[in-house]
Amino acid sequence: MAETQHKSPAGLGIIACGGNMPLVVAKAAQDVGRPVHIVAIEGAASKGVEAFPHSWVQLSKIGRLLKLLRENNCHQLVIVGAMKRPDYSRLRPDFGAIINLPTILKITVGGDNLILSVIVNFFDKKGFEVVGAQDIAKDLLVGVGPMGRHRPNKIDLKDIEIGLNVVEKLGALDVGQGAVVASQYVLAVEAAEGTDQMLDRCKDLRQSGARKKGKRSGVLVKCPKPNQERRIDLPTVGPQTVRGVVDAGLKGIALAANNVLVIDRDELIQLADEAGIFIFGVVAKDSSD
């Protein structure tokens, strides 16, 4: 009689780029008894992935990446973490990359929305179900209302409204996921440099009033772009965001409820409370809920 082969339960594949978010997602899956395999992108992912079942892969080795996911029975896939656009001239593709060259060429040009959609469609066509980090670790999402002790006042709420409108208008052009507004004046809009660098720029804008007479004013607003592919690259904040807001002399952070991810939530709230700044979840026009 032939031996019966028992297939292992369907695992979760995590394509890990930079930051702690891949680790948070992996732990959330393991906590509910789900097998996990992290495919860590060399030069981007943190060494923390080595606490989980993992493999390291070069970004250009598409064939090896797909093979690893299939070998580990990963039918569902999360693509998560910070990733800068690579220098494509330095990549050494494998055969899997070459036979998928038309798709790869599509992600070398265009804005983030286009690129993210191409990536999701590519894995969908390869038989993987791409899901968001928030689908695995549901407590990552920001809720409605204050996080911590402090709340925005009427002036702050007006700044928040302007910031949301700015991201909505510019987001339609595939520009940024954030803006800084103080006293109804737009100090900065997030472009390719990211939130941390945008906040660094705000520190030098003395004429903006963000530090007038030593008082804090202004709000960092974070929300997705209109029609953004929400399974990848939802806006994310963490303790470093709070530190940047404090250094920039701002008064608080406004986040699109159910559309922004928070990492290291307890530390983030503690830092905000100690600094006297608010973190507030607001309902944005383009909310998917």
> Bridge-partner residues for 181, per DSSP?
186, 219
Give the whole-angstrom CA distance, residue 255 versus residue 273: 16
- Yes or no: say if 80 and 15 are a contact pair by the CB < 8 Å rule: yes
Share of the chain above pLDDT 90, in %: 51
What average pLDDT does the segment 121-142 reach? 90
- Yes or no: say if 61 and 96 are a contact pair by the CB < 8 Å rule: yes
Residue 115 is predicted with a pLDDT of 59
Amino acid at residue number 156: D
Residue 85 is predicted with a pLDDT of 52
Angle CA 97–98–101, to nearest 5: 85
Identify the CA nearest to 250 among candidates 193, 190, 188, 194. Answer: 188
Residue 76 is predicted with a pLDDT of 94
- Yes or no: say if 58 and 93 are a contact pair by the CB < 8 Å rule: no
Residue 212 is predicted with a pLDDT of 52
Share of the chain above pLDDT 70, in %: 79
Residue 83 is predicted with a pLDDT of 59
Residues 6+ apart with CB under 8 A from 283: 144, 256, 257
Residue 176 is predicted with a pLDDT of 76
pLDDT of 260 strictly over 90? yes
pLDDT of 121 strictly over 60? yes
**Helix, strand, or coil here: 186?**
strand
pLDDT of 160 strictly over 60? yes
Among the residue ranges 4-18, 53-67, 264-278, the one predicted with the least confidence is 4-18
Q: What is the pLDDT of residues 202-228, one digit of tens each?
A: 877 644 444 455 578 899 999 988 877
Instruction: Report DSSP state, residue 114.
Output: H
Domains of the chain from N-terminus onward: 11-136 (3.40.50.20), 141-282 (3.40.140.80)
Residue 117 binned pLDDT confidence (cut-offs 50, 70, 90):
low
Residue 246 is predicted with a pLDDT of 93
Residue 98 binned pLDDT confidence (cut-offs 50, 70, 90):
very low
pLDDT of 141 strictly over 70? yes
Q: What's the predicted TM-score (pTM) here?
A: 0.80
pLDDT of 2 strictly over 60? no
Which carries the bigger pLDDT value, residue 91 or residue 179?
A: 179
Give the whole-angstrom CA distance, residue 152 versus residue 145: 10
Residue 259 is predicted with a pLDDT of 93
Roughly what angle, to the nearest 10 degrees, separates helices 265-275 and 239-247? Answer: 20
pLDDT of 188 strictly over 70? yes
Kindly report the average pLDDT of the chain as a whole number. Answer: 82
What average pLDDT does the segment 14-26 reach? 91
What average pLDDT does the segment 66-73 reach? 92
pLDDT of 119 strictly over 60? yes
- Yes or no: say if 190 and 171 are a contact pair by the CB < 8 Å rule: no
